[in-house]
Structure 1
Amino acid sequence: MWRQWGFIRQTKLVFVRFCRLKGAPDEIAKGMALGIFIGMTPTFGFQMAIAIFFAFLLRENRLAAAVGVWITNPFTAPFIYALEYESGRVLLGMPRLNLPEELTFTAFKTLGWEVVTPLCLGSLVYGVICAVLAYALTLRMIPVVKTWRIPRWPRPKRRREE
């Protein structure tokens, strides 16, 4: 039954790999926090490379950093970036922008810094908050998760040929 649901199986395999990461809990937690911080920045498309690069430079767990980046995936990114933009706009006291009437590249190019500045400020605020929370939660979670016994997938019974 479970083998028919590939998504659930893949999710479990990723979770098992994360549980079996080698390294000290502090290293893994720092890698996760770094990945989540970079995942909250508006560098969509380059986040994985940036996270692995900085994890390599800081000698933190690169796989945990890569996993942390996935906080912004195609489903969550629009909500996270909209929240970051609105928060940054409010902190800077900027007025809300009206979208251009025609959706062309030149129309969006004119918005420029009026969008980028609040988005960057909001991403820094949420990035720091989420990274600190991720570090604390991961640091406490890793020793507990490493003791879990994760059962194998049920195997279908083979019929004996007579």
Structure 2
Amino acid sequence: MREFLYPRKGFWRGFGYIGKRMRRLPDTPHRIALGFACGAFASFSPFFTLHFFVAAFFAWLLRGNIVAALFGTIVGNPLSFPAIASSSLWLGRLVMGREGGGANFEAIMEAFGAAFESAWAGVKGWFGFETENTASILSFLDEVFLPYLVGGAMIGVVAAFVSYWILGPLVAAYQTGRQRRIERRAAERRQAIDEELSAYETHDRTGDNA
């Protein structure tokens, strides 16, 4: 649990690794940035444990890079989730004209947990939800899930645009620099080969003259 909340090597090391993997993906900067943006958007949805699937779906729908979309879900992590959940719920309630502002992350997670417990109780009852379970789930959907979905979608769109705007030029610059380095090394190898051939021919002509 401690490793999940705060790894020994820190989050920045993991972010740096993901950044390197992102830049090296064999795809265009547009598709990579678009895929990452889909992952960032999915991180603001209330579909916990399904962010990978939501990100992959939108990346497939918009023709972005699916692997980059999976990397993009790193926007939602143990450090950012409290702020994401509280701000999404607060904005959703504000837009929908609901009473009450946001809630702390613990209260939101308790609401999700209670809804899952009610749903599971209905499943165990041969898909027959009891009255209190149905009322609990409907209350959760109306007071928490729907406002979270609306607010999260709005903030997620902004996060997606920002991610695309930042990442696209970075990936393009990296790929351009990488291609130049490859071409320079290839030119250096060709030059070295030409010099070796030239030296061999000179040596061969000297031997013939001798």
Determine the structure 1 residue equivalent to 2:48. 44
CA contact (8 A) 2:40 2:75 kept: yes
Q: Give structure 2 stretches of 5+ with no counterpart.
A: 1-7, 119-132, 182-210
Determine the structure 1 residue equivalent to 2:100. 96
- Letter aligned with residue 52 of structure 2: M
Determine the structure 2 residue equivalent to 1:140. 169
Q: Give structure 1 stretches of 5+ with no counterpart.
A: 150-162
The Cα of 1:37 is off from its aligned counterpart by: 1.2
Q: Under a length normalisation based on structure 2, what TM-score does the superposition of the two structures give?
A: 0.58
Residues 3-152 of structure 1 mapped to structure 2, 5 A cutoff: 6-7=9-10, 10-96=14-100, 105=114, 109=137, 111-112=139-140, 113-146=142-175, 147=177
Q: 1:48 to 1:6 in 2, by over 3 A?
A: same
Q: Under a length normalisation based on structure 1, what TM-score does the superposition of the two structures give?
A: 0.73
Structure with higher RCO (Cα < 8 A, 6+ apart): 1
Count of aligned pairs between the two proteins: 143
Task: Provide the identity percentage.
Answer: 29
- Give the structure with the higher percent helix: 2
Deviation readout 1:77-136 (Å, 9 max, x if unpaired): 12101101011111222111797xx98836964741111221111011101111111111
CA–CA distance in structure 2, aligned partners of residues 10 and 92 of structure 1: 37
CA–CA distance in structure 2, aligned partners of residues 70 and 134 of structure 1: 12
**Of the two, which has the highest radius of gyration?**
2
CA RMSD of aligned residues (A): 3.0
